[in-house]
Amino acid sequence: MADDLSAVAHFLYEAGTLKHARRTGWWMAGIRDPESVAEHSWRTSLIASVIAELEGADPARAALLAVWHDSQETRTGDVNHLGKKYSPNADPRAVTADQTAGMPEALAAKVRELVGEYEAKETPEAVCARDADKLECMVQGIEYRAQGYESAQRWIDNSRARLTTDSARALADELLSQGPIEWLHKAMKH
């Protein structure tokens, strides 16, 4: 390949920092060692593909948008909702432009396009990916509540209230009707 891949290699190492970056909002619920941004992004991508399929959108595109939705947090950190009240919100598109500088242009343009689409909130896939972000937070809240963190209820309620697609709402209601390890009990019976 003729293109210089050093900027791509730098970004791949940079992206790895999200495996160690904690989702800071959970600290307010008393969780000492909350999930990482990377852990959140993985399940968000999975959920995005599910919601998109149920909604008749492109599940691969929705999952891809979700993969990139928090990639800027390598530079901004995970600023929770209270923190955003006090510090200006960095534009994810501007951060992405900096992150992709020096990459082969076709790749940089694609990443900028994905982040721009997610932030614009206009395509069915972006709507599904954004709902997946909220639904993943709700599921994580249910899991933390089951571990004894009663304060997680606020995150559960707020996340459920912010869902926009019928499929995400219906899925949220189903998740709320079950316990986090009910799947295991069912699997053990087979």
Mean pLDDT (the chain) is 94
pLDDT band of 3, cuts 50, 70, 90: low
State what percent of residues in the chain have pLDDT above 90.
88
Q: What is the pLDDT of residues 110-163, one digit of tens each?
A: 999 999 999 999 999 999 999 999 999 999 999 999 999 999 999 999 999 999
Contact 167, 179 (CB under 8 A): no
Q: What distance in Å separates the CA atoms of residue 28 and residue 46, rounded to the nearest whole number?
A: 26
Q: What distance in Å separates the CA atoms of residue 2 and residue 20, rounded to the nearest whole number?
A: 33
Cβ neighbors of 66 (< 8 A, separation 6 or more) are: 41, 44, 45, 47, 48, 118, 129, 132, 133
Query: Would you state the pLDDT for residue 7?
Result: 95
Q: Where are the domains of the chain?
A: 6-189
In the CATH scheme, what is the homologous superfamily, with its name and number, of domain 6-189?
Hypothetical protein af1432 (1.10.3210.10)
Helix axes 92-100, 105-120, angle to 10 degrees: 170
pLDDT band of 2, cuts 50, 70, 90: very low
pTM over the 0.75 mark: yes
